[in-house]
Amino acid sequence: MNQSFYDIVRNRRSTRSFTTEHILDETINNILDIASYAPSSWGGHPIEFIIIRDKDKLKELARCKKMGAGPLAYSDVAIVPIIDKRNLELWVEDAAVASTYILLAAEYYGVGACWIHMKDRQGHTNMAEDDIKDLLGIPDYYGILNAVSLGYPAKPNKPHDLKPVIHGYSSHPDR
């Protein structure tokens, strides 16, 4: 904590291996509190969250996608953002923005996190989204873009050193 906003953005990395330390419910609630402020299409704030702590459920969640979902099985907590997509054309964008808030909020609280993509990904039998709905009892009219795996990082993050790609500024009309 006590990092500047720039430090949080720069230090955030995808964390895929975690210690056995548990994240307090209070910390998860703080992360979700921040995520609930994410901007949303039509200002509808449609995002809802499912929290999974049960180890067996985490393993089953990881199995819902064929490849690249391993970190979920080893995480302390998973957050699955869901959106009632009826009459909501931009639900994917809404879920993506809220998920990004989760990643940054996690970094603020010293928690490691990784976006695990689910939408349009193959599961072991059905599509990953459908398997998650079966596993968690989520009605079909909800959209699931991803899950986020969370835990305390097993090793320190190495920040990226990135620079924006800028294609020049247009002149200000007053100049």
Contact footprint for ligand FMN (CB under 6 A)? 13-14, 16, 68, 71, 114-117, 160
Output the smallest distance, CB 88 to ligand FMN, in A: 19
Which of 26/127 has CB closer to ligand FMN?
127
Q: Which residue has the tokens 């975690």?
A: 18
- In sequence order, the 6+-apart residues with CB closer than 8 A to the CB of 10 are 159, 160
Output the smallest distance, CB 175 to ligand FMN, in A: 37
d(C-alpha 119, C-alpha 141), whole Å: 14
Which of 14/29 has CB closer to ligand FMN?
14
Which of 57/117 has CB closer to ligand FMN?
117
- Identify each DSSP E strand in the chain by its residue range: 47-52, 77-84, 112-117, 142-143, 146-151
Of 104, 123, 144, nearest to 14 by C-alpha is 104
Output the smallest distance, CB 100 to ligand FMN, in A: 8
Which of 5/169 has CB closer to ligand FMN?
5
Largest CA distance in the chain: 63
Output the smallest distance, CB 26 to ligand FMN, in A: 25
